[in-house]
Chain A
Amino acid sequence: MKRLLPFAAFLFTGCAALQNMDVKSMTGGRFDASNIDYSKVAKGVTQIRKGFEEISESEEYYIGRAVAAQVLTRYKALNDPGLNAYAQKVAQAVALASDRPSTFKGYHVQVLDSNEVNAFAAPGGFIFVTKGLLKLVKSEDELAGVLAHEVAHVAKKHGLKTIQTSRLTSAFTILGTEAAKSYSPQQITQLTGAFEGVVDDVVNKMVVNGYSRDKEYEADKFGAQYAKNANYDPGALKTFLARMAKAEGGNKGGMFKTHPAPDKREAELGSLSPSSAYKRSSERGRRFTTAVQL
């Protein structure tokens, strides 16, 4: 029995010491640069990151910026401050009700001056919607459904999932062995090459070929849920898809090329009912009509 006492004391002291380490590092807020991750020191081995899940929040942001920079070279931004600000608010409303309300630097929307019917979401929260698509949207609730679909692509990291594993392995190998915050010219050349490949993978899938059907259906499903959480009518997404199906006709470009057929998406969504807090609003109708004049 007595032999157990020192053991118990040891365990207690050990636990207390570990807790003290955490408490010291908390300091009520600001990150303490002197904080040391003792668990890692104890491990003392190199463990290079592997899959897309290990792309950091800040790296996702920089990948997203580069993808967005390519989109804005292919498409001209629409200079309509009122419309852009309105789309931004609707996107933030549904993003707030999503399972990823905050990205590294938030969600940002840009309307594109193109008659093509299309919308994209780059990693990190850069969302684009074309003038051509907005011409088919008839209410704020429908716009919320469209933007919520794009927020879902970001929240579910669909863009990052398109990056080839070999590219990530190569990038992480360079990054994982580099401790400095700024890089030497040789390292930056290697990293730029890796970064370029990563960005091209996302652009090719997002803009040129389109995500897989599964990812589009998943974005529809979660988008409808986010719209519902935000107290918009989730069924408005189906109404929009039905209008899109009618508009398809001979149009095989933009979203008609990169997404599953609208009628199939509509069928996949099944029945959707609004939240108990949903209510119609003349103000939503008024501000939509004011902002969306195309």
Chain B
Amino acid sequence: MNALLSMSPQSMAAQLLIGLINGSFYALLSLGLAIIFGLLNIINFAHGALYMLGAFVAWIGLTQVGPWIGIPDFALNYWVALIVAPLVVAAFSVLIERTMLRRLYQLDHLYGLLFTFGLALVLEGLFTHWYGAAGQSYNVPAALTGPVRIEALGIVLPKYRLWVVVASLVVCFGTWWTIERTKLGAYLRAGTENPKLLKAFGVNVPLMIMLTYAYGVFLAGFAGVLAAPIFQVSPLMGSNLIIVVFAVVVIGGMGSIGGSILTGLGLGLIEGLSKVVYPEASAVVIFVIMAIVLMIKPAGLFGKEA
């Protein structure tokens, strides 16, 4: 506790902001997992690999595509990649859903989990084979380089990190709003509850499932592009993150949209705070919380008891 008290408000705020950045990634990824699990009943273990794929597509777009197509000066800049890379990853996920995942819906959760886990290993293996396990660096876009000063708190932050927090909050809130407040979202909520009945009412549920998977994966790809300038773009960047994200999902409760966002951000903050108080604990604090939540409320903080 002494560390906490002796700390200046500035460095405290800085640590919390770092926590919030991690929390932004947790929120984006666990939101996608929650949407996918809700409608497809599939625990998408490939989520981390698809996040990595998003980062790699952005990096390839920036540094490799020009030479490939014979125009060395051509590069897919960050802002274009922020939309295009997640779309590429989502298109890939549509292919996976149509040809493979679709066959598993009738079976036990375990098959979906094993399949997506295998898919993650294949993707990570391929990218390690092609680009090596070492990370590639991705430059922060020019408009977001340099620090930004927040006078009210008296702190200085890298502009890019602030952008990451804002962008993911906007995307998370927009997704939540669309699901909870619009007719499109009403279809998703109804389909999550009773897909068979919704189909009997004349809704094209198989198409809905495909698009939902694609959107959940889009979010992972988007998080990947956001992450590219902060972390190294490496084949294993997803598997490092996804373990924590699954703990977040367990804590929040599977299938709760708002819950997955709040839990992601909240646990990011707690993790940041524990770096201040007792840095040695920061790597495990989320898992300790997970164990406690599992004992007290096994369905998760926002989950419904089955």
Decide whether A and B assemble into one complex. Answer: no
